[in-house]
Amino acid sequence: MLKAARLLSMLVSAALLVSCAGGNPFPPATIDPGQVAPDAPHALSLSLDEKIGQLFVVPAHGVYLSEQSKDFQTLRHHVVDNHVGGVILFRSNVYGAAVLVGKLQELARVPLLVSADLEAGLGMRFEDVTYGPWAMAIAAAGDPALAERVALATAREARAIGIAQVFAPVADVNVNPDNPVINVRSFGEDPGQVSRYVEATVKGLKDGGVLATLKHFPGHGDTAVDSHRALAIVGADRPRLESVELVSFRAGIKAGAESVMIAHLSIPALDPMPAPALASPPKSPDAIGENVEVETKGTMPASLSEPVVTGILRKELGFTGLVVTDSMQMGGITSHFTAGEAAVRAILAGADQVLLSADPDAAIAAVREAVKSGRIAEKRLDESVTRILDCKKKLKLYEKRIPFVDGLAKIVDTPPLQALDAEIARRSLTLVREQPDALPLQKSTKLLSLVVADEATKNGPAGPLGAEVRARVLSVKTVTLDPRSTPEETRAVVEAAKDADVILVSLFVRARSGLGKITVPEAGRTAIPQLLALGKPVVVVSFGSPYLLRDFPDLKTYLCAWGGQDIAQVAAAQALFGESAIGGRLPITIPGLANRGDGIAKAASAEPPSNTKTR
């Protein structure tokens, strides 16, 4: 009888999905209701271990896992033994994640609050869906309504998979062109403009049924250090913080954001207490390729600072939602505190969720000992647990915790959502400079297409850009320079350019968490000036950081595409050949070379070639 009732429930849900899909391109997430929802527990009804566990969020990859596998057994241990309150998804696929979330939810006495970094939509973490544009692309398009629409779509997709907390929007104001980690993840450098896009994103996420998370409080936009690697210091005084960094966070809170992520930033103006340094810090999993750096002059990280979390965020800004730390595996924490001490200090500072502890078992044990010794009052735990449970109840996780896998194909990565991402990619393209008559490129042009990438890349001849270019010109030679390239290969590129009419240079150089720098590889830095010296038209497209123009100030034609996603590559190819208009505006200043608001508008002048698909 129970099986029959469950089957009937699933059929009804499927019918609802079909009916929704006909009239709404973004149908609400449909969850299998075929389970009896327990009453939501009160914080005081949980044991001490259950209370402590609710404050911890552990990582998972939403892919197929055998239940006997080490990875699944580790997750089971955290859910069943440690009673963790949340799971954050990293590299995943849609069906694998939905199935895994369902299995973990079945193991949990209290529903899990599942989260993910989805700043650029689902594709930022899910490998089998469209990878959407970055925040700065949306701002370059000049329409906050796009931010709201894409946030609403992301939220509904997320809820269908079982994700109820989205770590977006980035509310950082990127005023430092040398920022190695925020960059195009920010909506720009103007606090007012950033605020408008943050408000729109918060509204879309809320309307789609997820918790919107403002990050990285109190503001990571004016740093030249990546906090994945080291404790970054923000030297601004309080008046400057009020007029720049805090503006967008105030706006996001007012718009209804229900969680805020605290950064691992040293801000002496807010908390002057010196941060200790570990003699031998462990290597951070978030530091790519190089060891964690120890900042000896930093003050207490904001994520562990009571004056910042409780004093400013809670009391001054009046925020009453969930406070989540940034990843506790980052060098800005691990170079100064053990996993246990970091967790204790975060909770004392006022955090509700300890995200990605470097050692969850040790951290949970340390918090338990701190409570038993009186260092952390159990009342303090109850405050956070109550907030967490209230959010889970509001999100209806007690009734709707298991994703309805059979309905995903009607909700996730549908053609209307793909079209929205493609629209943003097209509208955001920003022509900063143009040599007279350099664009559009002509079919008859003999073209050298040079890809310069900061890592071994697929964006060469076999990538989306290469395919799009080959479909549009009769003669093209495509070559790639990256960190592996030799001086001989660099010379060969310059020699090949002598036979070309036009040189197209595509820069795939971007901010990458943990790397600590944004750098054009030496082969590219050597080749580009030599290509300019040939006197031929050189058209450069930045598929990453817009600030790369500073490395080559003599460029005469420079187009910003804001990211290397497939949709950005297709959009750039269409614009380069005149098939779509160019109308984006810079949301940032490129010091000494271009101002915020700059952008050359160009109308479409050609039809797509017959052997390519309109995207």
**Closest-CA residue to 164 (of 375, 332, 403, 328):** 403
CB atoms < 10 A from the CB of 44, how many? 10
DSSP β-bridge partners for residue 538: 503
515 CB contacts (<8 Å, ≥6 apart)? 180, 226, 288, 289, 290
Residue 464: is the preceding peptide bond cis (ω within 30°)? no
220 catalytic? Reply is: no
Please classify residue 68 by burial: count the beta carbons closer than 10 Å to its beta carbon, then call 0-12 exposed, 13-18 middle and 19+ buried. Answer: exposed
The answer to whether the CB of 53 falls within 8 A of the CB of 354 is no
- What is the C-alpha to C-alpha distance for residues 397 and 37, in angstroms, rounded to an integer? 9
Please classify residue 570 by burial: count the beta carbons closer than 10 Å to its beta carbon, then call 0-12 exposed, 13-18 middle and 19+ buried. Answer: buried
- What is the C-alpha to C-alpha distance for residues 260 and 321, in angstroms, rounded to an integer? 8
Give the active site residue among 78, 216, 220, 228: 228
- What is the C-alpha to C-alpha distance for residues 543 and 474, in angstroms, rounded to an integer? 24
Give the active site residue among 32, 117, 222, 326: 326
326 catalytic? Reply is: yes
> Between the CA of residue 289 and those of 285, 336, 443, 521, what are the distances in Å?
10, 20, 42, 15
Residues in the chain: 615
Residue type, 555: L
- What is the C-alpha to C-alpha distance for residues 158 and 168, in angstroms, rounded to an integer? 12
**Closest-CA residue to 358 (of 343, 376, 375):** 343
- What is the dihedral angle through the alpha carbons of 410, 412, 418, 423, rounded to the nearest 10 degrees? 110
Tokens 């960094």 belong to 245
- What is the C-alpha to C-alpha distance for residues 146 and 138, in angstroms, rounded to an integer? 7
Residue type, 445: T
Q: How far is CA 536 from the centre of its chain?
A: 38
- What is the C-alpha to C-alpha distance for residues 525 and 550, in angstroms, rounded to an integer? 12
The DSSP element (H or E) to which 198 belongs, if any, is helix 191-207
**Closest-CA residue to 129 (of 138, 120, 139, 116):** 120
- What is the C-alpha to C-alpha distance for residues 307 and 393, in angstroms, rounded to an integer? 30
Catalytic residues: 228, 326
